[in-house]
Every structure is written in structure tokens, then in C-alpha cells.
Structure 1
Amino acid sequence: MEVRVQSAPFRPGEELDAFTAAVPGAGAVVSFTGIVRDDSGTLAEMVIEHYPGMTEAALTQIAEDAQARWSLSGGLIIHRFGVLAPGEQIMMVATAARHRQVAFEAAEFLMDYLKSRAPFWKKERTATGDAWVAAKDSDEASLDRW
């Protein structure tokens, strides 16, 4: 499993091509890319903060847990930090396995973890001010199935 926490943008298609090429025995590859969305129509930018070292360790641990639980052929987590504009990619998860159900389940597990437990803090900046993004009960509830 590869884990990258970075400020630089990434190109999902290129990342997926490279990932797929690195898992030639896999029968399924699943990917998900999260994008900054502007639900209110007023978002100027999102600021994502993290603690270097702590964040990578936490993501590596959950990636190792997924690898062991689903016997993946490979996995990838990319998560950005810094200032992001609406429409930019925030994160990407890719999983590879011999069978599609395993790849889908592992990808969903990783996405649910990233959404609710990964040590990132998000602040939305709008014309009317800044506000930290609060955790959602629905995101927490998604972890219950794992």
C-alpha cells in the first residue's frame, strides 16, 4: 500500500494508470477521487491542515489494516493538504484485488476511514467568513459496518 500526503495537485487518470500497471495479477481495480465541492455556492477555498508524521502514520496503519483484512493485491491513498479551490481533487483511493467485491469493500472501508477518522482539519473560506467543517453523524455511522 502506498500512502502519500501532499500539497501538490495530482492527476487521477495518471495515478490510476500507474497503479493498475503495478498490480498485473489483479482481477479488479477500484478507485475513488474526492473533489472539493461548493454546496452553498459561496465557497472561495478550503484549507486542509494536518500534523506531518502523525497523519502519515495514521493513514499507513489503516492501509495496513485494509491490506490484511482483504488480502489486497495493492492499494493507494493520496490526500492533499493546503489551500484548495472548488473543483480540485482532495484525495484518491485505489484498491486492487483478485475479485471486484474485495476491491470495492476495501475502497469503501478506506474512504469511510478517511472521511471520519483521518487526522485532517478542514476550514471553509467564504465571502462571509471562515468556518471549520464539523464531523457528520452520517460519516460516523458509516464506520459501524466495518
Structure 2
Amino acid sequence: MGIHPKYRQLTFVSMMSLIMTFIMSGIMTYVLEGGFLPHFVSAWMRDWGIAFVIAFGLNLFLPSRIRKFASKFKKGQLVVYVFIASLIMTLILSFVLTAVSMHGFIPNFTTYWAGAWRVAFSIVFLLNFFLPQLVGKLVARMVAKTPKLT
């Protein structure tokens, strides 16, 4: 028994959000915490939970709007879409995760945020080129074949 086809998009968004935020929050936690400290795993899981909630909401509502904007570009439509989606997602997530890791807005917050954002953007930009296809194939295997009514 698989997932009902009407939940395909929700399953795709959930899996994309889970995988993307797992990778991104792990790397950002490493950068913001200063390496693999004794509390690294607990900080990473905290950051992953926060990042997932935000990313899930963004992934439900942003793609259609970004796709509409990117469709105005005849050449490079995919690159424009990936760039804008990665930019918006990482700006928001890196801001929140930096504030959480730094326990608020400390002096030089912007410096920490900019450093975390650069790393996050680089990772998410690359992931956004191949991860959707992989997750799409996985979700397609999970969707139940509904019997045709005769």
C-alpha cells in the first residue's frame, strides 16, 4: 500500500524539506557552533527542527510564485528559479538559525549571519539542481497505483 496520489505534492514537499534542512542545518550548525563540539548533535537536531518547520511552509507557497517569475526568462529559466528559491530560503533560514545559535542578536550578528548565509546558499543552490529529481523519483515509487473503475 502506497501513498494516495492526491498526497503526492505534500509528500514531495515534506521529503524535500526534510532532506534539504537536514543537510543545511548540519553544515550551518557546524559553522555557527565552531565545529564538532560536545553538544553538536543536540544543537543540530534543534536547528533541524526549526529549519524544517520554516522550510516546509516556504516550500508549500513559494515555488509557484517563483516559477511564475522565472517563466519570464526564456533562457536560463531553471537557473533563475533555483537561484531565487535558494536565495529566499537561505536568507530566512540562516537568519533564524544564526539568531538561535547566538541566543539572540549579539554584536556582530550580521557578520555571523553573512558567513552562515554564504555557506547555506552555496549548499542549497547546488542541492536544488539535483535533489528535486531524486526526491521526485522516490515519491513516484511511493505513490499507490489506484485501480481504475470500470
Structure having the higher helix fraction is 2
TM-score bracket for the superposition, by shorter chain length: 0.3 to 0.5
Structure having the higher strand fraction is 1
TM-score (norm 1): 0.38
TM-score (norm 2): 0.37
